Structure 1
């Protein structure tokens, strides 16, 4: 009987040990330090307005057919004046301005810059840049820049969250008319 009892205890202990969970972590859950290099990290450099203006003028000058460029940045305003050959046709001037604007859009500092292709305005921008470097009050320059921007930029209405109006004519239609109209729209969209 003692042997039987020992055998039963041995089997029970063997079963208990075999049913015990392994306390090691699975391979996919081990705590290992993984070093990840951030690929989108850019050194954040705070440039002064004068450095940004110089940078924008350099970008604009590198566009083909632009002889020279001047830029002024003050507050939220950035205006880039470009000098183009006087013999250039008006249509070509628009294309060059578009090219400069496109080049500035790819730069984080030039996303909101206004491009002006007027020799007088470019000289005016140069004079404003000189005044800023001489230490003149920035408020006067900001006022002058806002005047330039308002003269060259059209006014756009502010986007408001307006409710979308249902088509009033659809509300007056009967169910049969609505189904026919929907079928006609589907047929036309598939062509």
Structure 2
């Protein structure tokens, strides 16, 4: 009885699968018969950055030209630019996102800014300012290392389970507590 049901079920599955494949082949257009217009992507290609200071100043000017941007700070490291923007403190979050998007659009049209990173975070923007000052003072690597350590320190979460208590202080605290108990007895 069981074999009698298995054979028709398998035939039904094969029939359904075969019909589905035929229908799909009939509706898919052939690339040879496709008369639609095709266009090449014309987005600007990223240029190699040979003068980081000049490119940083250029990208800062582009960002400052966007309405709502009070100031801009750019740091170029190798072939990557990070642009921090300052906006008014009373601007709500959705408007800040709109301004940041407008800056990204402005940079997208520039061959140096096509792959730039834009941030409106106050802390990151301030750190970019400090990093730019370190670069101008002639200490780009040390300044970069310090600022990256600060940024990563703010991003990495602190998990209570991973915190190891200091061994010296709890023993001192316990011994003082024991001393107080001994004095009371």
Q: 1:77 & 1:139 partners in 2: Cα distance?
A: 18
Q: Where in structure 2 are the equivalents of 1:117-136 lying within 5 Å?
A: 117-136=120-139
| CA deviation profile, 1:94-113 (whole Å, cap 9, x unmatched) | 11100000000000110111
Measured in 1, the distance between the counterparts of 2:117 and 2:151 equals 9
Deviations 1:105-155 (CA, angstroms, capped at 9, x unpaired):
000110111111022221211110111111114375278469969x99xxx
Aligned length: 108
Q: Are 1:67 and 2:90 an aligned pair?
A: no
Distance 1:106 1:143, change over 3 A: farther
Of residues 100, 104, 118 in structure 2, which corresponds to 1:101?
104
Partner Cα separation in structure 2 for residue 78 and residue 45 of structure 1: 11
- For residue 95 of structure 2, the aligned residue among 87, 92, 95 is 92
Alpha-carbon distance change, 106 to 95 in structure 1, aligned in 2, over 3 angstroms: same
Asked if the contact 1:128/1:141 (under 8 Å) is kept, the reply is yes
Q: Distance in 2 between matches of 1:91 and 1:80?
A: 19
TM-score norm. by structure 1 comes to 0.49
Q: Who is 1:48 aligned against?
A: 51
Are residues 60 and 137 of structure 1, via their aligned partners in 2, closer, same or farther at CA, if it must alter by over 3 Å? closer
* Deviation at residue 46 of structure 1 after TM alignment: 6.5
RMSD (CA atoms): 2.8
Distance in structure 2 (CA, Å) of the matches to 1:87 and 1:138? 35
**Per residue, is there more helix in 1 or in 2?**
2
3-state SS, counterpart of residue 62 of structure 2: helix
